[in-house]
Amino acid sequence: MRKIRKIIIHCSATKEGQDIDAKEIKKWHVEGNGWSDIGYHYVIKLDGTVEEGRPIERSGAHTLNHNHDSIGVCYIGGYEKKKKKGKWVNKDTRTKEQKDALQDLLLCLKKDYPTSIIYNHNQFSSKSCPNFDAHTEYKWISNFK
């Protein structure tokens, strides 16, 4: 069994309101990246539905050099609806349903992996993902003993 030390939060880097799911992300990862499966263990849709991705027993493919001891959780969104000056603008686009579902999922994962800490993907990468500070917002969950 894998020793889980980290729960790493990601965004799908899609525009606000763009409704995609784990199946679509899996297609991007398998067909686009040549991976064997979706990189994330969980995906949270706009309506708060939590979809399972890669089986939890398998290392993810979501954070270079940290997949072996982490769980990857991705919420759909992360960019404003429209580009500004030709570029996508980072934004915390989580819906209320996504916020509620993410909190519930993190509480469940913390029960199963009590020594785990919640991190932002950007703490391990130069990306802006997840476009909000999950590490600080969910510190109270990370601090549960």
C-alpha span between 93 and 67 (Å, rounded): 25
Query: How is domain 6-142 classified at the architecture level of CATH?
Result: 3-Layer(aba) Sandwich (3.40)
pLDDT over 90 (residue 88): no
What's residue 46's pLDDT? 98
Catalytic: 10? yes
Q: Count CB-CB contacts under 10 A for residue 49.
A: 14
Provide the pLDDT for residue 76.
98
Residue 73's φ and ψ, nearest 5 degrees, are -120, 125
Distance CA 8, CA 51 (A): 16
Kindly provide the b/e burial profile for residues 8-26, where b requires at least 16 CB atoms within 10 angstroms of the residue's own CB: bbbbbbbbbeeebebebbb
pLDDT at residue 145 is higher than 80? no
Annotated catalytic residue 121: yes
Q: Model confidence at 84, in pLDDT bands (50, 70, 90)?
A: confident
Instruction: Give the pLDDT confidence score for residue 27 in this predicted structure.
Output: 97
Separation between Cα atoms, residue 9 and residue 13, nearest integer Å: 12
> Looking at residue 78, what is its pLDDT?
96
Across the chain, mean pLDDT equals: 96
Is 62 a residue of the active site? no
Active site residue 127: yes
Which residue among 40, 79, 113, 138 is the active-site one? 40
> In the annotation, is 11 catalytic?
no
Token digits for 128? 């802006």
Query: Which of the residues 6, 29, 66, 121 is marked catalytic?
Result: 121
- Please enumerate in sequence order all residues whose Cβ is within 8 A of that of 24, keeping only pairs 6 or more positions apart, or say none: none
| pTM (predicted TM-score) | 0.96
Residue tagged active-site, from 6, 10, 41, 66: 10
- For residue 43, the one-letter residue type is V
